[in-house]
Chains A and B, each alone.
Chain A
Amino acid sequence: MQRITREMLTSKAISLLNDGTVSAVLGWREGEFSYDLTPSLFYTAEDIEQNFVFNDFCGANFSKYLVTKTLGIEGKILAFLKPCDTYSFNQLLTEHRIDRSKVYVVGISCDGMADISKIRAITGDGISSISCEPDGLKVQTIYDDEPKTVSYEDAMAERCICCKSKKHVCYDELIGEEGEENPDCNRFGKVAELEAMTPDERFAFWRGELSRCIRCNACRDVCPACTCEKCVFNNPNSGAENKAPATSFEEQMFHIIRAFHVAGRCTDCGECSRVCPQHIPLHLLNRKFIKDINTFYGEYQAGKEVGSRAPLVDYTTGDLEPGQVFEREGM
Chain B
Amino acid sequence: MQRIGVFVCWCGTNIAGTVDVKRVAEALKNEPGVVYSDNYQYMCSQAGQDMIKNAIHEYKLTGVVVCSCSPRMHETTFRKTAAAAGLNPYMVEIANIREQCSWVHKDMEAGTEKAIILGRAAIAKLNLNTPLTAGETPVTKRALVIGGGIAGIQTALDIADAGFKVDIVEKKPTIGGKMAQLDKTFPTLDCAACILTPKMVDVGQHENIRIFSYSEVTDVKGFVGNFDVTIKRKARFVKEDVCTGCGLCMEKCPMKKVPNEFNLGLDNRTAIYIPFAQAVPKVATIDPNYCIMKKTGKCGLCSTVCTVGAIDYNQQDEIIEEKYGAIVVATGFNPISMDKFDEYAYSQSKDVVTSLEFERLMNAAGPTQGTLLRPSDGKHPHTLVFVQCVGSRCEACAEKGKEYCSKICCMYTAKHAMLVRDKYPDTEVYVFYIDVRTPGKNFDEFYRRAVEEYGVHYIKGMVGKVAPEGDKLMVQASDLLDNKQLHIAADMVILAAAIEPDESARSLATMLTASMDTNDFFTEAHPKLRPVESPTAGIYLSGACQGPKDIPDTVAQAGAAASKVIGLLVKDKLTGNPCVAESNELMCNGCSACEKVCPYGAITYVDKEFRMPDRTTRVRRVAQVNPAVCQGCGACTVACPSGAMDLKGFATSQIMAEVDAICK
Q: Do A and B come from one complex?
A: yes
Does B398 sit within 8 A of A, measured CB to CB?
Answer: no
- Check A314 against B596 for contact (C-beta < 8 Å): yes
Alpha-carbon distance between A94 and B592 when the two chains are bound, in angstroms: 8
Does A247 sit within 8 A of B, measured CB to CB?
Answer: no
- Check B616 against A230 for contact (C-beta < 8 Å): no
Alpha-carbon distance between A319 and B662 when the two chains are bound, in angstroms: 34
Contact partner, B588, options A229, A235, A265, Cβ 8 Å: A229
- Check A239 against B587 for contact (C-beta < 8 Å): no
- Check B587 against A313 for contact (C-beta < 8 Å): no
Assess A228 versus B511: contact at CB under 8 Å? Given A95-B591, A95-B592, A313-B596: no
- Check A96 against B587 for contact (C-beta < 8 Å): no
Does B643 sit within 8 A of A, measured CB to CB?
Answer: yes
Alpha-carbon distance between A235 and B588 when the two chains are bound, in angstroms: 13
Q: Which residues does chain A contribute within 8 Å of B642, judged by CB atoms?
A: 228-232, 235
Q: Which residues does chain B contribute within 8 Å of A232, judged by CB atoms?
A: 641-643
Among A295-331, those with CB < 8 Å from B are 309, 312-315, 317
Across chains A and B, the number of contacting residue pairs, with CB separation under 8 Å, is 60
Q: Which residues does chain A contribute within 8 Å of B639, judged by CB atoms?
A: 312-313
Among A31-66, those with CB < 8 Å from B are none
Does A101 sit within 8 A of B, measured CB to CB?
Answer: no
Q: Size range of the interface on B?
A: 20 to 34
Query: How far, in Å, is A96 (CB) from chain B's closest CB?
Result: 5
- Check A229 against B653 for contact (C-beta < 8 Å): no
- Check A229 against B591 for contact (C-beta < 8 Å): no
Assess A313 versus B588: contact at CB under 8 Å? Given A71-B618, A231-B642: no
Assess A227 versus B589: contact at CB under 8 Å? Given A71-B618, A239-B656, A315-B597: yes
User: Could you mark each residue 579-620 of chain B with 1 if its beta carbon is under 8 Å from any beta carbon of chain A, else 0?
Assistant: 000000011111111001101000001000000000010101
Which residue of chain B has its CB nearest to the CB of A229? B589
Alpha-carbon distance between A238 and B620 when the two chains are bound, in angstroms: 22
Does B49 sit within 8 A of A, measured CB to CB?
Answer: no
Which residue of chain B has its CB nearest to the CB of A230? B587
Assess A313 versus B589: contact at CB under 8 Å? Given A228-B642, A230-B642, A237-B653: no
Contact partner, B590, options A97, A231, A309, Cβ 8 Å: A97
Q: Which residues does chain A contribute within 8 Å of B588, judged by CB atoms?
A: 229
Does B507 sit within 8 A of A, measured CB to CB?
Answer: yes
User: Could you mark each residue 489-527 of chain B with 1 if its beta carbon is under 8 Å from any beta carbon of chain A, else 0?
Assistant: 000000000000000000100110000000000000000
Q: Which residues does chain A contribute within 8 Å of B596, judged by CB atoms?
A: 309, 313-314
Contact partner, A229, options B510, B586, B599, Cβ 8 Å: B586
Does B621 sit within 8 A of A, measured CB to CB?
Answer: yes
Does B652 sit within 8 A of A, measured CB to CB?
Answer: yes
Q: Which residues does chain A contribute within 8 Å of B599, judged by CB atoms?
A: 315
Does A261 sit within 8 A of B, measured CB to CB?
Answer: yes
Among B643-658, those with CB < 8 Å from A are 643-644, 652-653, 656
Which residue of chain A has its CB nearest to the CB of B639? A313
Which residue of chain B has its CB nearest to the CB of A72? B616
Query: How far, in Å, is A10 (CB) from chain B's closest CB?
Result: 33
Assess A317 versus B511: contact at CB under 8 Å? Given A96-B591, A228-B589: yes
Q: Which residues does chain B contribute within 8 Å of A309, judged by CB atoms?
A: 596
Assess A230 versus B586: contact at CB under 8 Å? Given A235-B643, A317-B511: yes
Alpha-carbon distance between A312 and B594 when the two chains are bound, in angstroms: 11
Q: Which residues does chain A contribute within 8 Å of B621, judged by CB atoms?
A: 96
Which residue of chain A has its CB nearest to the CB of B621? A96
Q: Which residues does chain A contribute within 8 Å of B587, judged by CB atoms?
A: 228-230, 235
Q: Which residues does chain B contribute within 8 Å of A230, judged by CB atoms?
A: 586-587, 642
Inter-chain pairs besides A95-B591, A312-B639, 17 sampled, C-beta below 8 Å: A95-B592, A96-B590, A96-B605, A97-B590, A227-B589, A228-B587, A228-B642, A229-B589, A230-B642, A235-B642, A239-B652, A239-B653, A265-B641, A313-B593, A313-B597, A315-B597, A317-B511
| The 8 residue pairs across chains A and B that have the minimum distance between CB atoms | A228-B642, A95-B591, A313-B596, A261-B641, A317-B510, A229-B589, A230-B587, A96-B590
